[in-house]
Amino acid sequence: MAASYSFASLGELYDEPSEDEVLARLKIAAAGFLPEGWKDWRVRKDHVVHMEPSVLNKMRFCLSALEIAKAFNPDAKCLKERPYRDMKVKMMSWPFCVGLILGPPSLALQVRGSALHCELVTQSVKNLRGLLMTRKEASKLLGDGSETDESESCSQSTSKQRVSTTSRLQCLEAESAATRSLLQEILSRLDRKGSDTGDSDLEEDQAEEFM
């Protein structure tokens, strides 16, 4: 006897109200990226995705990694592996995002409920696969788009902040050094003036003794 599942269309899940800003941005990104007919894709409503590391590493969505990163952080400058894994885990708490799962095939089958519906989704996004960039490709585009090492790209924002802070500290140190130098010069002049005055008084006293 075939198992009986409860399904919802991706369009129905899209229309469900939510106050979460990240989910709202993911929905907007999906609406602008997915092919015609995507709202008719069906999703098992009762399916729970098991968060095994091997599954997370292979999990792919019908949405660019770049758009996912921007949805979670519009100001993102990189997309490292661990934060991306955390994003996937969070997305699995939203039925709409579960409906965006494209692979691995075994997981997609669980989400869609049948091989036929999995194939329908796969064929629908066939022409979009070139836009489904990898995490590393997304991270590069979030940076300056050059061929620099990912770790360098991911540290650009932090480095700029550090440089700015360092520059301010250097300016303060320079001003402090200049102030100390000026004070030392003033004290030195006062010492010399006091010494000259003392010598002059001594000469006058000696002159009075011989008079």
Give the pLDDT confidence of 120-138 residue by residue, as tens digits: 999 999 888 888 888 999 9
Q: Classify residue 54: in a domain, yes or no.
A: yes
Q: Classify residue 63: in a domain, yes or no.
A: yes
207 and 120, same structural domain? no
* Cα 72 to Cα 69: distance, rounded to the nearest angstrom: 5
Q: For 54, list phi and psi in degrees, rounded to 5.
A: -65, -35
> How many degrees, rounded to 5, is the angle at CA 16 between CA 15 and CA 20?
110
User: How much is the pTM?
Assistant: 0.67
C-alpha 130 chain-centroid distance: 24
Question: What DSSP string describes 31-66?
Answer: HHHSPTTGGG-EEETT------HHHHHH-EESS-HH
Pair of tokens at residue 41: 């894709």
Average per-residue pLDDT for the chain: 80
Q: Residue 208's domain spans which residues? A: 160-211
187 and 122, same structural domain? no
Q: Classify residue 88: in a domain, yes or no.
A: yes
| Residue that terminates a domain, selected from 132, 154, 176 | 154
33 and 69, same structural domain? yes
98 and 188, same structural domain? no
What is residue 10's predicted lDDT score, i.e. its pLDDT?
95
What is residue 148's predicted lDDT score, i.e. its pLDDT?
47
Question: Among candidates 90, 116, 114, 88, which has minimal Cα distance to 101?
Answer: 88
Q: Classify residue 2: in a domain, yes or no.
A: no
What is residue 77's predicted lDDT score, i.e. its pLDDT?
93
93 and 18, same structural domain? yes
N- to C-terminal Cα separation, the chain: 136
What is residue 188's predicted lDDT score, i.e. its pLDDT?
76
CA dihedral 154, 27, 30, 109 (to 10 degrees): 100
Q: Classify residue 25: in a domain, yes or no.
A: yes
What is residue 26's predicted lDDT score, i.e. its pLDDT?
97
CA-derived radius of gyration, the chain: 34
| Residue that terminates a domain, selected from 135, 154, 173 | 154
| Residue that terminates a domain, selected from 129, 154, 179 | 154
Kindly state the DSSP code that residue 164 receives in the 8-state scheme: H
Q: Classify residue 133: in a domain, yes or no.
A: yes
Give me the residues of the chain with pLDDT under 70, please. 1-4, 47-51, 144-172, 174, 176, 178, 193-211
Number of domains in the chain: 2
Number of H helices, E strands in the chain: 11, 4
* Cα 125 to Cα 179: distance, rounded to the nearest angstrom: 68
Kindly state the DSSP code that residue 100 receives in the 8-state scheme: T
146 and 185, same structural domain? no
116 and 193, same structural domain? no
Kindly tell me the burial class for residue 80, based on how many C-beta atoms sit within 10 Å of its own C-beta (0-12, 13-18, 19 or more).
Answer: middle
Q: Classify residue 1: in a domain, yes or no.
A: no
